[in-house]
Structure 1
């Protein structure tokens, strides 16, 4: 009798397991979105557009800091015929996690919408992965989308509006700390930095003996004395293992200095930089986009600076 009850119990348990497996297969086949990583987007209003016409977005996600989150803003409504000088119909941006708790993690992203004309647009979020040797870039399926309307000064409620930005000529901050070398020795210098805060845009500059048109690589990396690069520690867990790495890399061209030394300028956006110390490195390393390597050049310069939290 006991043996019969045991066999009956084993049979029922097997049936439950098989039924569960069947249901999982059916649900994942017909409702795959239930098991995909999720990105939630906070409400977007005019307050999300700053004085530099960067659209700053926030939200939460189940993604970890191992994922690179990219966003694309594409015009949905018909626009003007494209040609020389036509407004952009698509811009790209980036996002990063503010902390990685392993649950729903807060994120922050931005995109420069200054080149977009009024119209209807769609924001799409994806993750990006690269092959081991960085020769192939792969985007995920869209993880979240957000439609919005960009209006002008006549737009009604519900539309976002860009800010009018005054065209202020760039002026170098050239102080005794920004030494300019004389003679025939080749050089790259970095001018004195202004006070740098998060969520802003700064034009940084310097001089060089290299000719106009020469390409320079600019790297902004977290700095620790004696180490140079480190992870930004998560302020919630104080754990370096869950730190969020934030950095900026770009290429600039040397400009003709006319009556002075040739110079370079770099637009630093600090929306995704955490408060802390950073080091800027400027060199004539040649960045290889195909495999993301940088063969060493012969010239370089660096400067350590601090990014502080922007006061509200």
Structure 2
């Protein structure tokens, strides 16, 4: 009789194992009880894009909510300084993986804790499943007004074009504005077509028609240089589909139906392409052109007045850069003996100094007076070239960035 009981127990155990294995194949979940682990988070400079990753037994396709709290906040105060969603994808072993992108531009250096929460279908929190520590290094930048900066009376918002990314890629979308620091902005990332992607679960053959997504949020204006402030937000394209999207940034208090009709706003296209797996040919990026130094977006059509041109760089604060404006169809012929940015019939040049920004991104700005420039197509060039003060010979550096514009009459 004892052997018979053992036989029944073995059969029941085998059935349970079969059912559990079937559930793993069908749902991608490996346990009745949800669990989450957070991978070790290396130190980051405040202002960097941070990608937080981990593993979980929660089924693929669900999301987690990540909160970042200040460990030094006084009791009873709101200690949350940042939050983002993390998207769960099917893993290769007995656990799934997740990742979330966090913009730390508005978070000062310090010690913080990341809390990972499970959420239900409506986005409400269910339970705290994991915590981890992170450290943001660096110093909070103290930016002073640049001498000679031209104040822009009309409020504006510009968006630096994010370009083309691969599906699943994380990126930091940035831009400039002359709105005051801490002004709240609304951002949207909107699919430009009604395209959808039909996916089939290889285990269940269940079909899922997945459309494009719209991402939105509220972000603060951050200090910049001179009268030009900055803003940024993180985009995680894991849940996107390959398509064309539009980034829109405007004032937070503008209603959706009045975006583009009231108040300042900026737009830029974003293209999400299908990720290429097992690509045997690795392209080598051109590190010199607009990589270590960038020019912020500005209108393609400029008029005969003064402008402040800004940008970012990974070069250290205090580095001297060479800023130039010259026609695209003529050689540069600038009177290097004339100090400052004065216009001529052929171009202008000036030295600008890199100032401290946030994280690993520092800032530069240059004031250019186009009042004496004739109508033409011009090139703005910023580089780490320099001019020998004795011979006026050009000593070429190794990084640069150029943008074209048209000067109307």
For this structure pair, what is the TM-score category when the shorter chain's length is used for normalisation? 0.3 to 0.5
| Higher normalized helix content (fraction of residues) | 1
TM-score, scaled relative to structure 2:
0.38
Per the normalisation by structure 1, the TM-score is: 0.47
